[in-house]
Amino acid sequence: MKIGVVCPYAWDVPGGVQFHVRDLAEHLIRLGHEVSVLAPADDDTPLPEYVVSAGRAVPVPYNGSVARLNFGFLSAARVRRWLHDGDFDVLHIHEPASPSLSLLACWAATGPIVATFHTANPRSRAMIAAYPILQPALEKISARIAVSEYARTTLVEHLGGDAVVIPNGVDVSFFADAPVRKEWQGGTLGFVGRINEPRKGLPVLLDALPKILAERPDTRLIVAGKGDEEEAVKGLPAEVRERITFLGMVSDEEKAELLRSVDVYVAPNTGGESFGIILVEAMSASATVLASDLDAFRQVLDGGAAGELFPNEDSDALAAAAVRLLGDSDRRQELREAGAKHVRRFDWETVGADILAVYETVTTGAAAVAEDDRLNPTWRSRLGL
């Protein structure tokens, strides 16, 4: 099958959607399918053979974060050329409700179109206001996928229609087989995420750390992620800062080793999460998971059976739970075993098969993807299509 996939966010900036698109493409390629991914990327970004650059992205505030998107006349022309050259059996676009390549591709194409919705934002005024503009594109989608029930609810409430829930995928064996780093063992907490992005929750964890150290002074916190480290720990006592190790940006291999090694992986995220891929990665690595009780995290952790939950933004509750877990090896082992069993639902062997089943449904008896010449002439002129 010839599959065209559109990634809305910059390929060179780490993020859950980019990782999902990358892993899906590589899984499909391993199965023998022909895959081309269209994504924003700077000129000097090294790209896999299957990725086609749509040009540089620009930063746009979106859903409590900053998304790097690509939109406009030049982008539209590149989308149209990619569609013409691709001769795809199915087009799979991600986040079509954002002003991105995905929306441009949906406007420009006709034929079997699958859309995956990742965003979970129950109060998005922007999405509601944009609905009249989005509607012509959304009506062309043959099948909709949501990565979680939370993302599905956002879709239904803001844009109408429905979607099948297929979670983000993870190569479970990659994390399960990662080596353990001895220097990251022994009373350690782990955190992975962008340091300066408040919704990732590092300030909540840092606020809890002095309380944890008061009970368990040998505890260490290992932080992996991009950001201003000095700014993050400003205001913390020197003796607390000495217990924190910042690794900066890490490779996928180093992230897997971190998750395999720490006693407890902490996800203190405060909102804006539709899924929680890091939780799946942590469970795949047999880590004990402690996470804020966001709806998306609760679903990923099987209601708390595969990891402990604490009230969102409550640093006292986080500290108490961390102290309890660090001192109870039996409970940590129980959660590791439950997580390792539960995470098989998210393995690419399962997720990939579910996505392929959607492709087969929309392509059966359908013509291939083609450029759509029926778009309103005014819109075609405005978009350069």
Does 201 lie in the same domain as 118? no
Does 280 lie in the same domain as 235? yes
Token pair listed for 339: 């997580």
Whether pLDDT at 43 is above 90: no
Does 177 lie in the same domain as 79? no
Question: What number of CA atoms fall less than 13 Å from residue 142's CA on the CB side?
Answer: 23
**What is the average pLDDT value for the chain, to the nearest integer?**
90
Q: Per residue, what are the HEC states of 195-248?
A: CCCHHHCHHHHHHHHHHHHHHCCCCEEEEECCCCHHHHHCCCCHHHHCCEEEEE
pLDDT of 129 = 56
Does 299 lie in the same domain as 254? yes
Does 151 lie in the same domain as 19? yes
Which pLDDT tens digit goes with each residue over 231-245?
999 999 999 999 999
Does 368 lie in the same domain as 297? no
pLDDT of 338 = 97
pLDDT of 269 = 97
Segment (H or E) for 146: strand 143-146
Which pLDDT tens digit goes with each residue over 113-158?
999 999 876 655 555 556 666 778 888 999 999 999 888 988 888 7
* From 126-130, 257-261, 279-283, the region with the lowest mean pLDDT: 126-130
What is the DSSP pairing of strand 288-292 with strand 264-267? parallel
What single string gives the DSSP state of each residue in 54-121?
A: ----EEEEETTEEEEE--SHHHHHHHHHHHHHH--SEEEEE-TTSSSHHHHHHHHEES-EEEEE----
Does 182 lie in the same domain as 92? no
pLDDT of 25 = 98
Token pair listed for 136: 């012509």
pLDDT of 229 = 95
Q: For the residues 268-294, what does the mean pLDDT come to?
A: 95
Where in the sequence is the domain holding 233, given as residue range(s)?
A: 172-345
pLDDT band, very low/low/confident/very high, at 382 (cuts 50, 70, 90): very low
Overall domain count for the chain? 2
Does 214 lie in the same domain as 135? no
Does 316 lie in the same domain as 178? yes
Does 177 lie in the same domain as 160? no
Which pLDDT tens digit goes with each residue over 199-251?
999 999 999 999 999 999 999 999 999 999 999 999 999 999 999 999 999 99
Whether pLDDT at 383 is above 60: no
> Residue 200 is part of a domain; what is its CATH number?
3.40.50.2000
Does 308 lie in the same domain as 202? yes
Whether pLDDT at 109 is above 90: yes
For the chain, give the percent of residues with pLDDT over 90: 72
Measured between alpha carbons, how far is 301 from 298 in angstroms, rounded to an integer? Answer: 5
Whether pLDDT at 63 is above 60: no
What is the DSSP pairing of strand 370-371 with strand 220-224? unpaired
Q: For the residues 26-42, what does the mean pLDDT come to?
A: 96
* From 14-28, 67-81, 297-311, the region with the lowest mean pLDDT: 67-81
Does 301 lie in the same domain as 159? no
pLDDT of 378 = 47
